[in-house]
């Protein structure tokens, strides 16, 4: 049975993204300001800002002018700034190239492992203390909300994470270097608190990358740290 959607799992609608894009360029706009820029009715704008405020992407601030009724203006939250399109892709590519050029395999491996651990921990704090299958389902929603289309399916009785687009296309220079794949595998293992393996990969011609739990008969609360130690290159 499908789980009820969580607040942070709700994807942004294209019409709502337009509001975020405008507030990214011009903060502190009112309903009237947004109406004029988007050329839609006040009702449509209020529906959009209500959704965005409910999900934590924007916040409203009271503006009192004279003795009339107070009005409100809208600002992006930290979550909204992230969703609006702040990108660190150039920085990420430069850092990854520096890591890849490291001539000491031990140091390179340690850096990749630490990055994967930090990435996994970021998602792990957003997952409930629940069975592995539920954590995987919620994680799929979190990734999709970050524009990484991900679903959870059942493969031979086991839950499988299917990532339908590479999260790091600019970091995959060719099909021979699987360092990014290894990083993603470790990050997901740390996020779930259970080791997963890359059972299918888009670099091999498959339609998506599949991550399958390893030895799912064991406790779903297995330490991701142990997995990291076991999978170090």
Residue 92 has a pLDDT of 85
The residue that leads in pLDDT, 115 or 15, is: 115
Q: pLDDT per residue over 177-221, tens digit each? A: 788 899 999 999 999 999 999 999 988 889 999 999 997 444 434
In the chain, CATH 3.30.1380 sits at 92-231
7-83 has which CATH code?
1.10.10.10
Residue 229 has a pLDDT of 38
In the chain, CATH 1.10.10.10 sits at 7-83
* Burial of 126 from C-beta contacts in 10 A (0-12 / 13-18 / 19+): middle
| Closest of 216, 196, 221 to residue 130, by C-alpha | 221
User: Rounded distance, CA 55 to CA 176, Å?
Assistant: 41
- Mean pLDDT, the chain, rounded, equals 83
Residue 212 in 3-state DSSP?
strand
Residue 227 has a pLDDT of 39
Residue 171 has a pLDDT of 81
Q: Give the pTM.
A: 0.61
Q: pLDDT per residue over 90-139, tens digit each? A: 888 899 989 989 999 899 999 999 999 999 999 999 999 999 999 999 99
Q: CA of 47: how far to CAs of 16, 35, 76, in Å?
A: 9, 12, 16
Architecture in CATH for domain 92-231: 2-Layer Sandwich (3.30)
């Amino acid at each position: 049975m499908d789980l009820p959607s969580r607040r942070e799992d709700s994807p942004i609608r294209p019409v709502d993204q337009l509001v975020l894009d405008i507030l990214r360029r011009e903060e502190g706009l009112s309903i009237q300001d947004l109406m004029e820029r988007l050329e839609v009715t006040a009702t449509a704008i209020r529906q959009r800002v209500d959704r965005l405020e409910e999900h934590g992407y924007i916040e409203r601030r009271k503006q009192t002018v004279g003795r009339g009724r107070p009005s409100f203006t809208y600002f992006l939250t930290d979550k909204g700034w992230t969703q609006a399109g702040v990108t660190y892709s150039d920085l990420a590519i430069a850092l990854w190239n520096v890591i890849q050029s490291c001539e000491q395999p031990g140091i390179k491996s340690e850096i990749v492992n630490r990055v994967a651990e930090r990435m996994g921990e970021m998602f792990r704090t957003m997952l409930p203390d629940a069975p592995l299958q539920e954590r995987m389902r919620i994680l799929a929603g979190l990734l999709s909300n970050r524009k990484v289309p991900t679903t959870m399916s059942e493969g031979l009785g086991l839950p499988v994470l299917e990532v339908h687009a590479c999260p790091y296309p600019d970091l995959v220079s060719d099909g021979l270097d699987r360092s990014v794949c290894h990083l993603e595998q470790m990050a997901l293992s740390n996020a779930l608190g259970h080791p997963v393996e890359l059972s299918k990969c888009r670099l091999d011609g498959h339609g998506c990358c599949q991550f399958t739990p390893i030895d799912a008969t064991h406790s779903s609360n297995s330490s991701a740290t142990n997995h990291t130690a076991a999978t170090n290159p």
